[in-house]
A = this chain, B = another copy of it.
Amino acid sequence: MEKGILLIMDGLGDLPDRKGETPLSAAKTPNMDKMAKEGILGMLSPIGKGNVPGSDTSHLTLLGYPYWDFYCGRGPLEALGSGIKLKEGDIAFRANFATVKDGKIVDRRAGRIDTADAHKLAKLLKKVKIVGVEIIFVNTVEHRGVLILRGKELEAHVSGTDPHALERVPQSKALKKGSEKTARVLNEFTKKAMDILGKARENSKRELPANAVLCRGAGTYRKVEPFAKRFGITGACIAGGALYKGVAEYIGMDVLYVKEATGTKDTNLKAKAKHAVAALKNHDFVFVHVKAPDSCAHDKDFECKKKVIERVDKELIPALVKTGANIVITGDHSTPCSIGEHTGHEVPLLCWGEGFRVDFCKRFNEVACMYGGLGHVDGWDLFPILVNAMERGKKVGT
């Protein structure tokens, strides 16, 4: 039985600088170049040509759950990735502790309050009661958290209460008929939370008190066809960030707890490699996520992105290659260092292993991938291509 690995280097794709180089083309990547020589390249449009992918819609689609059918909003995915168990119909939001003064937001992160302090404040919010709805607030890392509304007649088409700017906390509004109750409950929660947090002893010593909770990314959780049933293969996820673990949890993959996978630039890649190799022993498929290239690109730091790609090549790739699995290496979107944001440019794609053909390409970079033997691949076609390489495709017809 053939195995498979999908390695996502977040934000991998880039645009050429003045010398015509991208972080990937400038990086020394002898291991991935060898794979390019022995494998086949292509260009990937995660959610269709020219479309700018979010990390959530892209990962869902690349893992075989096209976003137009399966995207449920960011809130539920973050909640699931933070280890929170959701029930069918729950409305989930991403939430931030923030500092409000004279009715206006002065810091969206409440001075990046530390996790332990945030946890104490989150406990106080258990006192918020609203008739007809169960309120669940959980803090995660630093100022971040998740708000869940559980009850009847709740729909998720509401505006958030985080303006992403230093202005007044806006009222949530229903964006579609049927979501009025959700907006009303969110506004009531926001008010009651401010009342409680404003009086909290824990805030009295803080220069930037965490005296408000801002919510965004509303979504309704629903169960989807589990990964193992959909594809006939078992899958495991090794990622640092909550979102990526949340996507994997949502589609029913095994989300492995890897202490060293931090989702930061100094993430321990050797540990990730070790865990991926181990996971492949009792799973058919492993999804490995490395956030750092995207983080560097958001900081517009070409050298940083180049170096982290070199580190992946040196510290992660050799162990994956040794497993003999079919390996797909790509990104969830481009984040050009010159722009510092996600863009809809195609993402370099490398496929290697016994289930793939071999083209003429010799190096792994944006230009080589334009001439790859796989051509231009849409995101929703990638997982079927990998499953086929693993000889696990289900025949359509006879």
A residues with CB within 8 A of B: 15-16, 20, 40, 43, 47-58, 67, 71, 74, 217, 339, 341-345, 354-355, 357-360, 366-367, 370-371, 373-378, 381-388, 391, 393-398
- Nearest to A47 among chain B residues (CB) is B396
Q: Nearest Cβ in chain B — how far from A20, in angstroms?
A: 7
B376:A375 contact, CB within 8 angstroms? yes
Interfacial chain B residues near A58, Cβ < 8 Å: 397
* A–B complex contacts, Cβ < 8 Å, 5 sampled: A16-B357, A40-B370, A51-B393, A56-B398, A343-B393
**Top 3 A-B residue pairs of the complex, sorted by shortest distance between their CB atoms:** A54-B397, A50-B384, A57-B397
A345:B388 contact, CB within 8 angstroms? yes
Contact of A398 among B217, B360, B376 (CB under 8 A): B217
20 additional A-B residue pairs with CB within 8 Å, beyond A49-B377, A49-B378, A55-B397: A16-B357, A49-B384, A50-B382, A50-B384, A50-B385, A54-B397, A57-B396, A58-B397, A67-B396, A67-B397, A71-B397, A341-B391, A344-B393, A345-B357, A357-B367, A359-B367, A360-B371, A370-B375, A371-B373, A375-B375
Given contacts A48-B384, A384-B48, A391-B343, contact A53 B357 (CB under 8 A): no
Q: Nearest Cβ in chain B — how far from A67, in angstroms?
A: 7
Interfacial chain B residues near A74, Cβ < 8 Å: 397-398
- Nearest to A372 among chain B residues (CB) is B370
